[in-house]
Amino acid sequence: MMRIRNAKPEDAAAACEVVRRSIVELCVADHEGDPAIVARWLNNKTPENFRVWIARPDASLLVAVEGGVLLAVGMITDAGEALLNYVSPDARFRGASRALLTALEIRARERGAAVCTLESTETALRFYRSNGYSEAGPPTGKFGMASGYRMAKPLR
C-alpha cells in the first residue's frame, strides 16, 4: 500500500535517484537526449542537496513510498510553489504522482497558500492540466530546453 510522508535525511540518496532517473528516462521529450541539457538539469540533484532541501524550514519535501521503496518525490514551499514532482520510471502510471501532487497541494494550503504554482515540463503538461492547472506565463526555457510552462491552480 502506497503512502505519502515527509522525507527524512536517510531518504536523500533514494530520493535523488528517483528524481535523476525520472529526468533521464521519462523527460526525453524535454531534453531530447542532449547531454548538455541533461547535465545542467541534474547538476543540483545530489544527495547532499536533498538533505538540505529536506531540512528547509520554509518548504516540505514529501515522498510516496510503497513497501519501503520510494516511488515519487515532491517539494512545495509554504508559499505554494511546487519545486519538485518526479516519479520513478518503475512507478509511472500507478497513481503515485497524482497522490503526491494532492499531498503537496494540501500541505501548501495548510501553510496558508491560496494558489499553487509550478513549472511543468512538456512531459508533465497534460498531467498538470488534467489536475486543474492552467498556464500562467510564457515558457521559460530552463536548462536550455525549448519548453518549461509556468502553471497555477487556486487552492480551495
Residue 24 placed within a domain: yes
| pLDDT of 141 higher than 80 | no
Whether the predicted pLDDT of 142 surpasses 90 = no
Q: How many distinct structural domains can be found in the chain?
A: 1
Q: Give the chain's mean pLDDT.
A: 92
State the CATH number of the domain containing residue 55: 3.40.630.30
Q: Work out whether strand 81-87 and strand 115-120 pair parallel, antiparallel, or are unpaired.
A: parallel
Which range marks the domain in which residue 78 is found?
A: 2-113
- Residue 41's pLDDT is 84
Partnered with residue 66 across adjacent β-strands are 2, 69
Work out the widest C-alpha separation in the chain, in whole angstroms.
41
Cβ atoms 28, 92 nearer than 8 A: no
- Give the pLDDT score at 30: 79
37-96 pLDDT, tens digit per residue, is: 899 988 999 999 999 999 999 999 999 999 999 999 999 999 999 999 999 999 888 889
Q: Note whether residue 77 is domain-resident.
A: yes
Structural domain includes residue 121: no
Cα 82 from Cα 65, distance rounded (Å): 19
Inside any domain, residue 25 = yes
pLDDT at 89: 93
126-145: average pLDDT: 83
Is residue 98 assigned to a domain?
A: yes
Assigned domain for 141 exists: no
Tell me 144's DSSP state: G
Q: Which band of pLDDT confidence, cut at 50, 70 and 90, is reported for residue 138?
A: confident
In a domain, 132, yes or no: no
DSSP state of 136: -
Does the residue 146 lie in any domain?
Answer: no
Structural contact between residues 117 and 81, judged by C-beta atoms closer than 8 angstroms? yes
**What is the pTM (predicted TM-score) of this model?**
0.92
Enumerate the H helices of the chain as residue ranges: 12-21, 28-31, 35-42, 47-55, 96-110, 125-130
User: Of 73, 66, 102, which Cα lies nearest the Cα of 8?
Assistant: 73
